[in-house]
Amino acid sequence: MGKPEDQRVLVTGAGGFVGRALLGQLQRTWPSAAFLATARRDGEAAALGPRVRTACVDLCMGQAVDPVIEAFRPTTVIHLAAQSSVHLAASAQLDMWRGNFLATYNLIESLHRHAPDALFVFASSGECYGRTFLDHDQVTEDAPLQPTNAYGRSKSASEYMIRDVHKGPHLILRMFNQIGPGQDERFVTSSFAAQLARIERGEAPPTIKVGDLSAERDFCDIADMVRAANLLLSDADALDPASTFNICSGQTRSIRSVLDTMLGLTSVDVSVEVDAERLRPSAIARAGGSNAAIHAACGWCPEMAFEDTLQRLLDYWRTRLAA
């Protein structure tokens, strides 16, 4: 990334779950760098730090993106903004394609004009592998991309577009299921924690509603994911200028085992009820990734114990509901 004092870092989606954590880490790592965070609405990127400038911009509108890139001339762009819920993506596919692909295209097109040598860091997804999971215990970065849903397809298409169009270096991060304090309860682990916290407070009946518990997924603590991204950015000059890495724990867990572990962290007695609205059986029973490549590149491996992650998540919801 060059000298820290010369860096101008643009972070999209900085007000989101991953963005808040990563931007905080980057400010500690590069205290002299200039940061610009984008958001679609006023207030989304608030409270990100005194050194972070913010810009309210709809990334889906190229005419809105271009003046931001031209004025800031970033040396690094970390593109996190996305429609990240697979379920919502299925119900609003046009908005999802605009938010995931068109926004990425607009950034790349503007960089082509105003900052062609900028490092472009793209938050992709393990969902890109899709049916490839059926033939692999742990997919590696060179495995075929066979996404099974519109979310995965939009991310895969964005990856190909970045490789074809961006003239500068790029770093593609295929993030698997991230979990931790601050995550929206649309996501399964946060949903479990929020429901349990409400039951503990007597705000809900002692029944936790669930979907398909048989699926196995690779979960990684947000703190470990942010540390992985930070290490890669710190070593970016030593990496191949067109690099792709899985960020995952390397271990799969069934959703049922996640729920059982979380139930062991509370003293309340609860029943479990399958909710038809949450029951979205997946064609992919098990989705596991290999983190060997990122470990070889920068020495990263996950450090957070899974039960500790769930405890922190449950405590987050207890505190939030008590406020």
- The DSSP string of 234-246 is HTGGGS-SEEEEE
Distances (CA, A) of 266 to 262, 312, 319: 7, 13, 14
Distances (CA, A) of 88 to 85, 96, 203, 286: 5, 8, 26, 21
* Matching CATH number, 183-218+251-287+304-322, of 3.30.300.130, 1.10.150.650, 2.40.50.140, 3.90.25.10: 3.90.25.10
Give the mean model confidence (pLDDT) for residues 253-279: 93
Beta bridge partners of 213: none
| Spatial distance between the Cα atoms of 148 and 142, rounded to a whole number of angstroms | 18
Residue 86 pLDDT exceeds 60: yes
Share of the chain above pLDDT 90, in %: 84
Tokens of 265: 């962290």
* Matching CATH number, 4-178+220-247, of 2.30.30.90, 1.10.10.10, 3.40.50.720, 3.40.1190.20: 3.40.50.720
Q: pLDDT-derived band of residue 3, with 50, 70 and 90 as boundaries? A: low
Same fold, 4-178+220-247 and 183-218+251-287+304-322: no
Q: pLDDT-derived band of residue 2, with 50, 70 and 90 as boundaries? A: low
| Spatial distance between the Cα atoms of 127 and 317, rounded to a whole number of angstroms | 27
* pLDDT tens-digit readout, 222-263: 999 999 999 999 999 999 999 999 999 999 999 999 999 999
Tokens of 25: 């880490």
Q: Burial, 110: exposed, middle or buried (Cβ in 10 Å; 0-12, 13-18, 19+)?
A: buried
Question: What stretches of the chain adopt beta strand conformation (E)?
Answer: 8-12, 34-39, 52-56, 76-79, 119-125, 170-175, 177-179, 207-210, 216-221, 242-247, 252-254, 271-274, 286-287
Residue ranges of domains in the chain: 4-178+220-247, 183-218+251-287+304-322
Distances (CA, A) of 110 to 51, 77, 115, 291: 24, 12, 8, 32
- Cβ–Cβ under 8 Å, residues 171 and 159: no
Can you give the pTM of this predicted structure? 0.94
Share of the chain above pLDDT 70, in %: 93
Residue 45 pLDDT exceeds 80: no
For the chain, the farthest-separated pair of C-alpha atoms sits apart, in whole angstroms, at 60
Distances (CA, A) of 317 to 72, 177, 203, 213, 322: 37, 19, 13, 22, 8
- Cβ–Cβ under 8 Å, residues 81 and 146: no
